[in-house]
Amino acid sequence: MNGKPVLEVENLSVCYATRRGLATAVDRVSFTIYENEVVGLVGESGCGKSTMANAIMRLLGDGAYVTGGSIRVMGQDVYRLKGDALRQFRWTQMAMVFQGAMNVLNPVKTVESQIVDTLLAHRPGMSKQQARARAEELFRLVRIDPKRLQSFPHELSGGMRQRVVIAIAVALEPKFIIMDEPTTALDVIVQKSILEQIMELRDRLGFSILFISHDFNLVQEISNRVGVMYAGRLVEMSKSASDLALTPRHPYTQGLIRAIPKLTSDDEDIQGIPGSPPSASNRPSGCAFHPRCPYAKPICRTVEPGMTTVAGNLIECHLSEDELRSMTYAER
Amino acid sequence: MYYVKKLANFIVLVWVAITLNFLMPHLMPGNPMEALVAKSKGLISPTAMKALELQFGINNKPLWQKYFDYLNQLIHGNLGVSIANYPVSVKTIIAESLPWTLVLVGVTTILAFMIGTLIGMVSAWRRNKLFDSIMGPLWMFLGSVPPFWLALLLLYYFAVQWGWFPQIHAYNVGDSPSWTFKFIGDAIDHAVLPALSLLITGIGSWMLAMRNNMIQVVKDDYVSFATARGLPTRKVMMTYAARNAILPNVTQFAITLGWAVGGQILIEQIFSYPGIGYQLAQAVTSQDYPLMQGIFLIISVVMLAANFIVDMLYVRLDPRARAEGVGV
């Protein structure tokens, strides 16, 4: 399935400047997303997933800096773009559906004018009428009555607003879209219809997605591959999102899976992961997960684990393949 | 619905203002007649006294009757007769002084708002850059200078010492107001110094307010989303960030503009500028109650009208105001 890479992240580090020095939010992360691929990225709040999304879009706010590594989208190093080239690159090559889409639309402009703004910013030859016609087309694509184009954001429901944002994301038909918790603020039913909408559009328009979420089940459902982030590190990148039961996994990932209640099982024993994730400014030595890991060995406290390939998955852990496998089966 | 509610609100408030304006002098001890008698040191004959009492409406009618008389006079545009400038009517005095104040204070208020908002917008957009670090302290300093002090300074140097601008009044004494180029040029010449003292000290607060709002708005998701979409920077700054950041200031602007009618007592006093503030100060020193009452009435009604107009405009600026019934 590996075609052309659309996103190549290499050794990416992002730091926040705080009063107590630098806090590393993303720590030497590498991964690649190929054409037509949906890659899920999961992790707890504060693990660096959203920071990474913002780093890719070059939207890091005050005090956050890329301190190492590179990001290439469609082969273009994003951080080598300057001025108007960067402006043009955004949205034509990469788009992003923001976390909490409730507040991403300008409250004082109609949704139509916000779509038109987006189109005209990249298609200087387009007339206002053409842009309006395209906006209508986009609304039909995401199944909203074009009459709603004249609405202000506060007049639309949460689900509709998210559909508008998705329509804006695909407006210029980019080949790569980041979706940062696109359904988090929505209720389950709307969530489901939005997800279906996203997958339908993907089939139709053919773009790759980096799907960021804290919901393991959701990511598993739609992704070709899944990455797991913990304390700024990408601790695991799976070959495929399925086969969860059979594949040995990073102890943290196992913890995440165990924390999900299963409707089909009588077993009501849901286990959370003890402790809480470390803050970005105060990372534990060695493997950052060791204070919470039930299988931690002495070496985990002192030495940072390297990436190893275990059954086709990339895993960053000191435990051997056999150890991981045996504890995976011990769970069942 | 929104408009009807606001209109009803406005009418009720105007009625309250008029009623308070009527009641206040009646709650005070003494009456203008006594002041007049004291001033004339017993030189008024009893018949003249009787005539004046009639003219000033001093009689033994019950309060409610006086109230209706007052309303009746108001409807006919009669605000009474000034004591200090007897027999000139209050209406005439206000009609002669209000335009001067409206132009002087109104124009400077609008200019200060526009300039301050623009500087604040750019400052916030380029936060902690060179422009911001110069403009911030500069206008904050100038904004903390008392306008009357700056006025005295300007008057001393530019008018008295160097004689670049006239020292007093709104036009050459002896001329009568007319729409000739000469007169208008002359009036502008007279307005420069008072306008500058108001403008220079007025910009700071607008700049600061806009900068603070804008710094908050810039962090909002819709601004990042606009940037992410590759909209031109200018567009993001103006129609996404500033357009939202300006909203809280609009209300403040209306109130300030309303105050313009009240005049700038100190500034007008310093330049002997014949505006409403100057007249009010004169009225207070000469205990000219009818004039004070008339000026207060105009001030309160215009303030309310300014707020009402902004309420109407606000829904155009912020579509959420109508739905939520919030706003000004």
Q: What are B78-116's pLDDT values in tens digits? A: 888 887 787 888 889 998 888 889 889 999 999 999 999
Q: Is B14 within the bounds of a domain?
A: no
Q: Is B285 within the bounds of a domain?
A: yes
Return the ∠ at Cα B300 (arms to B299 and B304), rounded to 5°: 115
Domain count, chain B: 1
B180 compared with A129, residue with greater pLDDT: A129
Q: How many other C-beta atoms are found inside a 10 Å radius of the C-beta of residue B23? A: 13
Overall average pLDDT of the A294-316 stretch: 86
Return the ∠ at Cα B53 (arms to B48 and B55), rounded to 5°: 95
Q: Rounded to an integer, what distance in angstroms lies between the CA atom of residue A55 and that of residue B202?
A: 41
Overall average pLDDT of the B42-64 stretch: 75
The verdict on B237 touching A (C-beta cutoff 8 Å) is no
DSSP B9-32: HHHHHHHHHHHHHHHHHHHSSS-H
Q: Rounded to an integer, what distance in angstroms lies between the CA atom of residue B247 and that of residue B328?
A: 10
Which chain B residues are closer than 8 Å to A157 by Cβ? none
pTM equals: 0.82
Q: Rounded to an integer, what distance in angstroms lies between the CA atom of residue A136 and that of residue A148?
A: 10
Q: Confidence band (pLDDT; 50, 70, 90) for B326?
A: very low
Q: Name the DSSP letter for residue B238.
A: I
Q: Is B53 within the bounds of a domain?
A: no
* Cross-chain Cβ contact B231/A121 below 8 Å: yes
The verdict on B225 touching A (C-beta cutoff 8 Å) is yes
Radius of gyration in angstroms for the set of CA atoms belonging to chain A, rounded to a whole number: 21
Q: What percent of chain B has pLDDT over 70?
A: 93
Q: Is B12 within the bounds of a domain?
A: no
Q: Is B280 within the bounds of a domain?
A: yes
Which chain A residues are closer than 8 Å to B231 by Cβ? 87, 117-118, 121
Q: Rounded to an integer, what distance in angstroms lies between the CA atom of residue A207 and that of residue A38?
A: 9
Contact B147, B197 (CB under 8 A): yes
Q: What percent of chain B has pLDDT over 90?
A: 34
* Cross-chain Cβ contact A168/B229 below 8 Å: yes
Q: Name the DSSP letter for residue A75.
A: T
B114, two tokens: 């526009």
Q: What is the pLDDT of residues A121-159, one digit of tens each?
A: 999 999 999 999 999 999 999 999 999 999 999 999 989
Q: Which residue in B224, B231, B244 is closest to A108 by CB distance?
A: B244
What domains are defined for chain A?
A: 5-102+173-331 (3.40.50.300)
Which chain B residues are closer than 8 Å to A90 by Cβ? 227-230
B144 compared with A241, residue with greater pLDDT: B144
The verdict on A121 touching B (C-beta cutoff 8 Å) is yes
A 70-89 residues inside an 8 A Cβ radius of B: 87-89
B143, two tokens: 């904004």
Overall average pLDDT of the B175-193 stretch: 82
Q: Which residue in A88, A108, A165 is closest to B230 by CB distance?
A: A88
Specify the range with the lowest mean pLDDT, choosing from A106-110, A124-128, B165-169.
Answer: B165-169
Overall average pLDDT of the A89-117 stretch: 91
* Cross-chain Cβ contact B221/A98 below 8 Å: yes
Q: The domain spanning residue B304 has which CATH number?
A: 1.10.3720.10
Q: What is the pLDDT of residues A160-215, one digit of tens each?
A: 999 999 999 999 999 999 999 998 878 888 889 999 999 999 999 999 999 999 88
Please report, to the nearest 10 degrees, the dihedral formed by the alpha carbons of residues A166, A172, A175, A179 taken in order: -20
pLDDT above 60: residue B324? no
Scanning every residue of chain B, which has its alpha carbon at the shortest distance from the alpha carbon of A152? B319
Secondary element (H or E) of residue A14: strand A5-18
Chain position carrying tokens 């912020």: B318
Q: Rounded to an integer, what distance in angstroms lies between the CA atom of residue B225 and that of residue B222?
A: 5
Residue B144: which domain range?
91-324
Instruction: Tell me how close the Cα of B229 comes to any Cα of chain A, in angstroms.
Output: 5
Which chain B residues are closer than 8 Å to A108 by Cβ? 243-244, 247, 317-319
Please report, to the nearest 10 degrees, the dihedral formed by the alpha carbons of residues B51, B55, B59, B63 taken in order: 180
Q: Which residue in A61, A95, A117 is closest to B231 by CB distance?
A: A117
User: Looking at beta carbons, which pairs linking B166-169 to residues 24 or more positions away fall under 8 Å?
Assistant: B166/B190, B167/B271, B168/B271, B168/B272, B168/B273, B169/B271, B169/B272, B169/B273, B169/B274
Scanning every residue of chain B, which has its alpha carbon at the shortest distance from the alpha carbon of A170? B229
Helices A128-141 and A111-122: angle between axes, nearest 10 degrees: 120
Among A184, A195, A186, residue whose Cα is nearest residue A220: A195
Q: Confidence band (pLDDT; 50, 70, 90) for B241?
A: very high
Q: How many CA atoms lie within 13 A of A216 on its CB side?
A: 18
The verdict on A168 touching B (C-beta cutoff 8 Å) is yes
B 239-298 residues inside an 8 A Cβ radius of A: 239-240, 243-244, 247
A105 compared with B23, residue with greater pLDDT: A105
Q: How many other C-beta atoms are found inside a 10 Å radius of the C-beta of residue A6? A: 25
In this prediction, residue B328 carries a pLDDT of 37
Overall average pLDDT of the B184-200 stretch: 89
Q: Rounded to an integer, what distance in angstroms lies between the CA atom of residue A315 and that of residue A294?
A: 17
Q: What is the ipTM of this complex?
A: 0.88
Q: Rounded to an integer, what distance in angstroms lies between the CA atom of residue A71 and that of residue A7?
A: 7
The verdict on A57 touching B (C-beta cutoff 8 Å) is yes
Q: Is B62 within the bounds of a domain?
A: no
pLDDT above 60: residue A55? yes
A285, two tokens: 């030595």
Contact B28, B4 (CB under 8 A): no
